[in-house]
Amino acid sequence: MSLTVDIRRDLGGFDLHTTFDAPEGVTVLFGRSGSGKTSVVKSIAGLLTPQQGRIALDGRVLFDTAARIDVPVHKRRLGYVFQDSRLFPHLTVRDNLCYAARVSGRGSRDPKEVAALLGISHLLDRRTHALSGGEAQRVAIGRALLSEPDMLLMDEPLASLDGPRKAEILPYLETLRRETGLSILYVTHNMAEVARLATHIVLIDEGRVVRSGAPDEVLTDPDMVRMLGIRDAGAVLSATVAAHHPDGLSALSISAGQLLLPAVEAPVGAKLRVRILAQDVILARTRPEDLSALNILPVRVLAVRRGEGPGVVVQLQAGQDRLLARITRRSADRLDIVDGAECYAVMKSVAVSQTDIAVGLQTGL
Ligand X SMILES: Nc1ncnc2c1ncn2[C@@H]1O[C@H](COP(=O)(O)OP(=O)(O)OP(=O)(O)O)[C@@H](O)[C@H]1O
The helices-and-strands tally (H runs, E runs) of the chain is 9, 21
Nearer Cβ to ligand X, position 189 or 326?
189
Sole window of 7-15, 133-141, 279-287, 348-356 interacting with ligand X (rule: CB under 6 A):
7-15
Sole window of 28-36, 65-73, 143-151, 331-339 interacting with ligand X (rule: CB under 6 A):
28-36
Show Cβ contacts of residue 365 under 8 Å, excluding neighbours closer than 6 positions: 24, 25, 199
What single DSSP character describes residue 1? Answer: -
Quick one: which of 73, 87, 63, 39 has its CA closest to 149?
Answer: 73
Nearer Cβ to ligand X, position 14 or 88?
14
Nearer Cβ to ligand X, position 38 or 295?
38
Nearer Cβ to ligand X, position 18 or 220?
18
Sole window of 34-42, 72-80, 141-149, 241-249 interacting with ligand X (rule: CB under 6 A):
34-42
Distances 134 to 56, 130, 186, 230 between C-alpha atoms, Å: 32, 12, 17, 29
Q: Indicate whether 34 belongs to the interface with ligand X (CB under 6 A).
A: yes
* x/- track of binding to ligand X for residues 258-287 (CB under 6 A): ------------------------------
Q: Indicate whether 35 belongs to the interface with ligand X (CB under 6 A).
A: yes
DSSP output for 273-297: EEEEEGGGEEEESS---S-S--EEE
Q: Which of 18, 30, 37, 62 is in the footprint of ligand X by CB under 6 A?
A: 37
Minimum CB distance to ligand X, residue 31 (Å) = 5
| Pairing between β-strand 183-188 and β-strand 26-30 as defined by DSSP bridges | parallel
Nearer Cβ to ligand X, position 12 or 267?
12
Q: Which of 12, 246, 248, 269 is in the footprint of ligand X by CB under 6 A?
A: 12
3-class DSSP assignment, residue 74 = helix
Sole window of 6-14, 69-77, 124-132, 251-259 interacting with ligand X (rule: CB under 6 A):
6-14
3-class DSSP assignment, residue 165 = helix
Q: Indicate whether 229 belongs to the interface with ligand X (CB under 6 A).
A: no
H-helix or E-strand containing 46? none
Q: Indicate whether 47 belongs to the interface with ligand X (CB under 6 A).
A: no
Query: From CA 324, how far away is CA 302, in angstroms rounded?
Result: 10
Query: From CA 21, how far away is CA 265, in angstroms rounded?
Result: 34
Q: Which of 18, 27, 38, 250 is in the footprint of ligand X by CB under 6 A?
A: 38
Minimum CB distance to ligand X, residue 41 (Å) = 8
Distances 201 to 112, 143, 219, 282 between C-alpha atoms, Å: 32, 26, 9, 27
Nearer Cβ to ligand X, position 9 or 76?
9
Q: Indicate whether 220 belongs to the interface with ligand X (CB under 6 A).
A: no
Q: Indicate whether 36 belongs to the interface with ligand X (CB under 6 A).
A: yes
Angle at which helix 133-146 crosses helix 93-104, to 10 degrees, equals 30
Q: Indicate whether 188 belongs to the interface with ligand X (CB under 6 A).
A: no
Q: Indicate whether 31 belongs to the interface with ligand X (CB under 6 A).
A: yes
Q: Which of 18, 27, 39, 183 is in the footprint of ligand X by CB under 6 A?
A: 39
Nearer Cβ to ligand X, position 156 or 174?
156
Sole window of 11-19, 172-180, 225-233, 279-287 interacting with ligand X (rule: CB under 6 A):
11-19
Q: Indicate whether 25 belongs to the interface with ligand X (CB under 6 A).
A: no
CA dihedral sign of residues 238, 244, 247, 248: positive
Query: From CA 204, how far away is CA 31, in angstroms rounded?
Result: 5
Distances 265 to 13, 251, 269, 346 between C-alpha atoms, Å: 49, 12, 12, 23
For binding to ligand X (CB under 6 A), which residues are involved?
A: 11-12, 14, 31, 33-39, 189
